[in-house]
Structure 1
């Protein structure tokens, strides 16, 4: 009975967190973004800087809210490696729905490639259109916009090489897109490993009314040493993208195997 009560409490915490996220995102997009335009003097660069900073604060609040309500616990190893980073490509494995939210809470100056369909989502449409890069535009344009954001504005590009959330129990399938962004912008790669327990209820194809059966979501992140792109620069893009993708997968899979051994 006690386990059942705890399960229901955590599930309710999860549902309330999603409600808070949706309502807050709607307010941000419809009310605060227009205000930021005015405060920035209608300068696009200042608007982006103000907005990204505010979004970071919002995600930090949101992550803390989920922790306080008892639905999640977050730990970050080697967090200092993220301090002050600029113009990097940040990659990670992608086990759950909250991964991008957590990364945005940790990295203030973040950009991201997002699903073009999210532009149609009423809650976050304005945020997507104003700050991030939809994958529905031509890939060459995505490359140019990401490079400009990293080089001129010092933002970091967050991207999941799998392209979507991992399928439980199946091998990771990394695409070459993340490597191509890094090589095109000549930006080193910072890998982050998402460990912890199984994110039941937040995985691909899971139902909203699911939760881990025995405990809260454990997010054990580990920031890994950066992967330089210099060794791949003098190769044809087709070859360098394959090799860099293989390297990214090797680094994250090694950490995944290490976690399995220590469990």
Structure 2
């Protein structure tokens, strides 16, 4: 049976000003950071539908029924405003369904949901992720801060498995490469702390209604997940097992 997953986010545009004495010019570059995650999921048998942030703004599903075509939904480094403020709502004042409520109801009805950390997920830089108090937080096994929740660890911090019996970390009990940062959250009562960084959660898993939610508080690619992490032999297995567990496949 085909396993279908929707991944939204992991894209950005950089607009740079180059000043050279009297003169200046600008350049614009579009980039995506999804390739490691996408490749890992595909190796694990998942059919991946990928929506970069600018595509998700318009095309991310509006209802739990539309989301139900997927076994799992992943948000990675995409702020709540991108999903709340559809262009027709922001520019034309057109009422449309709340897509974070759709995620909440999709999970409550049996769907799988994964949030991956970054500067614009959980709360993120300057709290601009804005998921605290939203339907997405209701679909997660963690409680979010109401402030900038980043913990930058440029010196590196080693993940540590907390619940070795959990299917998400089967075969991955030790020797994880360092990460360079994460979002600080707290596990909800009844959730399982699967792995941590220092004293803080890295992976939290929990039952949400009839469905399942997983929080992975660091990144799936640079910069918080440096080359040794994305090239780690356990990387593909980790992400496949996260998605499989969230979707109720293991």
TM-score by length of 1: 0.28
Bigger strand share: 2
Relative contact order higher in (CA < 8 Å, ≥ 6 apart): 1
TM-score by length of 2: 0.29
Bigger helix share: 1
Structure with higher Rg: it is: 1
